[in-house]
Structure 1
């Protein structure tokens, strides 16, 4: 472990303030005083308790009230638990619930005097809030249909239960890690829990005829986990996980909190060296990686009714942006009991399943008040949408986010209705990326932007091309700092192209790989959405600049610029930019002698600035032509 010791020594010149705070007391001392704190109110709350220790139990001080994260391992709730969460939300949390991307629920508006009551009410039905914040092992996620779906090979909830008992319920592990630690375990063929996006990922694999898990390590916002080249069986997971956490606890950095996640230790020492240390700690030489079995996106994408192994169904209730309520959670618990097994499953995309519904009960469930209420969101743009908290309940949020996501989904559904399609749209209200925008088909990161009058407004950076099949892949930035009022139109043109060129039930992820990224540079796609926004929304022209199904420019930006310019000239004037010459290609054909404002002369509705842009794209002299789309995107802002 020499390499880890040297890395730690290099990062041990100082410790951060949080580590100093953690040394003041045991978190369990604060937990034991919760009733006393509740009785005394804010006057009985020490600064360090509010700033750190209460977070270890999911309690976040918002100044006037508290936010509370409720731990729900693998997102699985029995009837009594769902009912109790709903009752607590009604009584103590303004009847408001967020379903989070860690497959748990978040309650808001809890008054300090009610903290102990809330925790006691949850504990009565076996629910804990331990280690849902601060430097702890956060809620473990897995397939929401774990143990039920046809593509589920290894049921992982029994493994998760062992981990919970070993670490979460053990006071000796609370607040001992250098930084938060996210874990995912997937025993299914489809990626239904963003499996490559955690500090530690156990991914279904096959090795010499046995099923188990390949291990991937070190994800964080904007970075997917790395292959650790290691295979563990279901029985080996707990001991391996314990050794991994002990090594991270011992050698993880405690100086700069922005660089203390496992990712940074792995970057410094290398994954092989870290794995050797884990093997030494465990006293076991684990096998090399097998064949990763993740084959596809979530099998529940685009569908509300999923046939299960026992011939019953799982029914998916679409919860827009995860905004739920205690009243609806109670209704969900009752519906689950009336029509099925009484069990609910929360999903990482902020929805929920009622499971084990017999076929003969489906019609009754679909007519129930709960399903009827959320039926309006049962369309392409809500089914696979994620949005984190935003400014309403998060101090880090830059934009409202959840309302923005909902509004755009409604807009797109009215503008581009597509049959047999799947599009994942994820929204993060700030760069922290809690909405997992980086792996979305189309992702949004909240920012401030300037509108056409120069006013500071809510905006987004748009991302495209995230992947979650077989291996996750981060998306590319398509546009930066667009007002949300403009951004929705850019997305509309991406989706119109998808609708026009997709093959049968092809997902957007597959289409983006086959069409967008294969045929065009991302700069060209950015220009494509911008020019249509200018032509149709700003100028009100009844024309559409469309991408070619089989482009000839080969993703080379200079050729894309030229061919786009030729198409725009013809689209706006009805004439060709270059006169045909027998036997010559368009690049060698005789150019028309035009001036910078020629397009404006031929089409008076085209402003001179746009005419100049097209002229620069198609200049007679190749050396005088625009070389990159970025300069044209800047010019288009002035149109």
Structure 2
């Protein structure tokens, strides 16, 4: 892998182009790139410990506050009382509260009871009992004061957790199957590779200045629960040409305002090669990624322009120094759920128990209670999922009903309705400075309404609510995706509402949701709309027809 200092040698004369380092242009082309050149984001940690936590919020350099703090999982949260119509109008300092969201990275979604209890205690002590399980297996806290951050880090690090590179233009949390090592039907256990990539590369200055955020999944799950289709780089468990398990390499997935599915490079990666190959792919992005315009700085734009064949060639010739063998594609099942909810057998004869909170929101006191429940029933392993759910591993047969009852007494459903199981929501306007509408409370209320109106709804329907166009809640790949925006109600007033996307999904029939011209709903009318479209689906669908298939062929009038 060539060092960063030599990448400019590929061109005798710097060219502006897209600001690619490997083509010789190293001067920053926007303020974000200038800030990163001025000081590595990793260096802000010591300033937080030595200066900002002692002198308080007003002492924070703005370039750190709205930039480098992200390298350690910190964002200022939205100041209370600012409506969605002002999100794109006000300056950052007008949107900032004096409190922070803190994102804790949980690589592979793997937690011990002690780790989960520590997160719960931090939440209750420092974050007003707030906690959200994200759809990238992290936990986010709110209302965090800068004065408390060093103590929070000490408590996290004492149990092997951190917020290092949980945000920023860095390698963010590495997603992994929550059942790694225990699933009966997994291709291979990716835990060692997740750990090695983390230990080798997270926090390294070689990768602390990427063009944009960088999302990884490494999984041997046969249900493909980490959603390799929408990660920047994904290693997907497959059986290689010689019968040995390894990984199929995918690059360039991502949603936001320009959704793209990852492309297969067609290369087979042995487990012992994975960390080196990850570094090679990441280095291609670092050196050739577009740095001129932030909205084009994700790796998906590079591979869209290059194509997978050129990307693989550059990876192998310039960074690895050897060719990867061709390998098979993963065998996707169009009807398989990916969320691991419910009680299921492990390969060792014990059981895992997956359960659903409401749209991922679980107070810190309840996180501590989950740790207690797990330990009381013989488990020290709790996992987060890519669908804002939790899983407890290693439950013996005789304790399954007891642990199920204990969880459901906390309103953590092991046998949830379709609507509880498959409704997700991003952070929303309560805390997020990018949001336009409320999502968490709206999602929780929607679940209750749909359970009341359609109590026996039989089909697996995903409903994803997002507070802005950035798709943190994956609206384009949901059966019903709801993008927050202001809409006009029947009285001509601007109110909170959603643009509707229908029929998205991943897997064998991957597609982005259909947008019907003018199809929007106010937040108040949302339960009526969804009930209406779901009843039409039940009336019109063919036997065994999925919602996405029906939505793709339905008349526009039936989708309104």
Matches within 5 A, 1:472-621: 472-478=510-516, 480-500=519-539, 506=544, 511-512=546-547, 514-517=549-552, 520-521=553-554, 524=555, 526-530=556-560
Find the counterpart in structure 2 of residue 229 from structure 1: 266
Find the counterpart in structure 2 of residue 556 from structure 1: none
1:192 equivalent in alignment to 2:225? yes
Secondary structure, aligned partner of 2:530 = helix
Aligned length: 520
Contact 2:536/2:558 (CA < 8 Å) preserved in 1?
no
Secondary structure, aligned partner of 2:365 = helix
Contact 1:232/1:286 (CA < 8 Å) preserved in 2?
yes
Distance in 2, Cα, partners of 1:363 & 1:8:
65
Distance change (3 Å), C-alpha of 1:377 and 1:453 = farther
1:45 to 31, 42, 60: 60
State the structure with bigger RCO (CA 8 A, min sep 6), 1 or 2.
Answer: 2
Q: How big is each residue's C-alpha offset from its partner over 1:230-267, in whole Å with a ceiling of 9 and x where there is no partner?
A: 22122221111111112211121211111111111222
1:263 equivalent in alignment to 2:300? yes
Contact 2:487/2:520 (CA < 8 Å) preserved in 1?
yes
Secondary structure, aligned partner of 1:54 = helix
Contact 1:96/1:324 (CA < 8 Å) preserved in 2?
yes
1:297 is displaced (CA, Å) by 5.4
Matches within 5 A, 1:155-554: 155-170=189-204, 172-173=205-206, 175-208=208-241, 209-221=243-255, 222-280=259-317, 281-296=319-334, 299=337, 303-368=341-406, 371-375=409-413, 378-418=416-456, 420-470=458-508, 472-478=510-516, 480-500=519-539, 506=544, 511-512=546-547, 514-517=549-552, 520-521=553-554, 524=555, 526-530=556-560
1:7 is displaced (CA, Å) by 11
Q: How big is each residue's C-alpha offset from its partner over 1:163-194, in whole Å with a ceiling of 9 and x where there is no partner?
A: 00011143x23522111111112212212122
Distance change (3 Å), C-alpha of 1:417 and 1:34 = same
Bigger shift: 360-369 or 327-336?
Answer: 360-369
- For the pair shown, the structure with the greater C-alpha radius of gyration is 1
Distance in 1, Cα, partners of 2:448 & 2:528:
13
What runs of 5+ residues in structure 2 fail to find an aligned partner? 1-6, 20-24, 78-96
Bigger shift: 68-77 or 235-244?
Answer: 235-244
Find the counterpart in structure 1 of residue 147 from structure 2: 113
Q: How big is each residue's C-alpha offset from its partner over 1:30-80, in whole Å with a ceiling of 9 and x where there is no partner?
A: 212322221111233212111211110101123311111001001110111
Secondary structure, aligned partner of 1:453 = coil
What runs of 5+ residues in structure 1 fail to find an aligned partner? 531-639
Find the counterpart in structure 2 of residue 565 from structure 1: none
Distance change (3 Å), C-alpha of 1:358 and 1:300 = farther
Find the counterpart in structure 1 of residue 88 from structure 2: none
Find the counterpart in structure 1 of residue 91 from structure 2: none
Task: Give TM-score scaled by structure 1 length.
Answer: 0.77
Bigger shift: 468-477 or 421-430?
Answer: 468-477
Secondary structure, aligned partner of 2:515 = strand
1:78 equivalent in alignment to 2:85? no
Distance in 1, Cα, partners of 2:530 & 2:45:
47
1:377 is displaced (CA, Å) by 8.7
Distance change (3 Å), C-alpha of 1:374 and 1:284 = same
Bigger shift: 413-422 or 108-117?
Answer: 413-422
